[in-house]
Structure 1
Amino acid sequence: MRFSVDEIAPAPWKNGRGTTRELAQRSEQGQMVWRLSFADIAQDGAFSTFPGLSRIHTIATGHGLKLSGTNSEYVAKPLKPVEFDGGLILNATLTDGPCQAFNVIFNPQLTQAQASIVEGESIGLEGGEKVLFVLAGQLDMGSQGVFGVQQGLVLDAPATGVLSDDGVVLVIQFTPI
């Protein structure tokens, strides 16, 4: 399944303090397994909570932010995925202006998710469910097409691709429980 940020209208955050674009979602028997979204973060403030779920937050544009809670603190820097409990009550403080972030929200009782950044090389992916999201440059996936910045795809079969010299791709690998 192919998706593009530019083709999805923004919707208000769960807490109403920003906007997001829901890129893809997978459910089983009426229960969410995972959801992918792309958020515009323009102001400091409370982060939406997702009790019982886990999150991976990756800054795609801008300088990032700091997430602070009662007993926890996370620094989200560009192209550095940060994983945390979606139920944590966190406040975001922007680092030098607005940013955009790719978010994975997943049910840890149904799947595990692992994020990695691949830069300027070929990509070879084993089987299993995975997501590729282009953060810079281009990704040529052969018969599946060429993907530009803020475009991606969900795959469930082995695949190979070639990144442009300036290419950066976020890879999310899902492993069922």
Structure 2
Amino acid sequence: MNAPLIVEYSAIPPTPWKNGRGVTRNLFDDATDAGVWTWRVSIAEITGTQPYSPYPGVRRGQVALGPGAVELRIDGRDLVLAPEGIVVFDGEAEVTASPREAGFLDLNVMARRDTWESDVRCVDDPGVTEAGDGIVILVALGDTALVDGRSLARLDSVMLGASASASASASASASADVRGRFAVARIAARRHPLG
């Protein structure tokens, strides 16, 4: 049985946003050698008021990681996302983010709507977690997390599922015993493709 794929957040180099106005650290994706992906899970740092890059055809889920809250304006609608708050929106939406504290981070779960169904939530002690016929990404929200007995630091991540990614070239196990508080993203092939 394969071991879960684990990525240490501290080891991930930052890369610029598509619009060049921020940086992100890519956790896992299905990118080709040319950098084309249909799903991606990453952590972005937002400094000051920033517009988001457009991603037509993509469903975006965002989890606020703090510190503090972030003020979002999505297609003219204002909302405040507290730490561990979640919002979902289309990649075509016009979005501006204004963090209330320096060093604000958010978790992004992005997947093409015509190919994937995706969701994200925050949970305590998921227990034995299975990928099923999809992919599960777990991101530690505290420093007391364990995956199959291995300690994780805050924001370290784990991938379960049989998909190779740009961030990890081997297949991951399909399940793991998970303890602690995590953001859990599930990505599965759309059963009825949009046409």
TM-score under structure 2 length normalisation: 0.78
**What secondary structure, in the 3-state scheme, does the structure 2 residue paired with 1:6 have?**
helix
Q: CA deviation at 1:122?
A: 4.6
Q: Over aligned residues, Cα RMSD in angstroms?
A: 2.1
Q: Which of the residues 135, 151, 154 maps onto 1:129?
A: 135
Q: Which of the residues 7, 11, 14 maps onto 2:11?
A: 7
**What secondary structure, in the 3-state scheme, does the structure 1 residue paired with 2:141 have?**
strand
Distance 1:42 1:27, change over 3 A: closer
Q: CA deviation at 1:62?
A: 1.2
Question: In structure 1, what residue type is equivalent to 2:186?
Answer: Q
Q: Does 1:161 align with 2:177?
A: yes
- Specify every segment of 5 or more residues in structure 2 that has no aligned partner in the other structure, as ranges: 162-172, 191-195
Q: Which of the residues 69, 94, 97 maps onto 1:92?
A: 97
- The answer to whether the Cα contact below 8 Å between 1:43 and 1:98 also exists between their aligned partners in 2 is no
Q: Which of the residues 15, 21, 34 maps onto 1:17?
A: 21
Distance 1:97 1:155, change over 3 A: same
Structure 1 runs (4+) greater than 6 angstroms displaced: none
CA deviations 1:53-94 (Å, max 9, x no partner) are 111111112112122144434432211221111111112122
Question: In structure 1, what residue type is equivalent to 2:147?
Answer: M
Q: Which of the residues 139, 144, 148 maps onto 1:138?
A: 144
Question: In structure 1, what residue type is equivalent to 2:98?
Answer: T
- The answer to whether the Cα contact below 8 Å between 2:129 and 2:178 also exists between their aligned partners in 1 is no
Q: Which of the residues 47, 58, 79 maps onto 1:42?
A: 47
- The answer to whether the Cα contact below 8 Å between 2:57 and 2:112 also exists between their aligned partners in 1 is yes
CA deviations 1:133-166 (Å, max 9, x no partner) are 10113332227x3322111111115424242xxx
Q: Does 1:170 align with 2:183?
A: yes
Higher alpha-carbon deviation: 95-104 or 44-53: 95-104
Question: In structure 2, what residue type is equivalent to 1:115?
Answer: V
TM-score under structure 1 length normalisation: 0.85
- The answer to whether the Cα contact below 8 Å between 1:36 and 1:103 also exists between their aligned partners in 2 is yes
- Specify every segment of 5 or more residues in structure 1 that has no aligned partner in the other structure, as ranges: none
Number of aligned residue pairs: give it.
171
More strand by share: 1
Distance (whole Å) between structure 1 residues aligned to residue 74 and residue 121 of structure 2: 25
Greater relative contact order: 1 or 2 (C-alpha under 8 angstroms, separation 6 or more)? Answer: 2
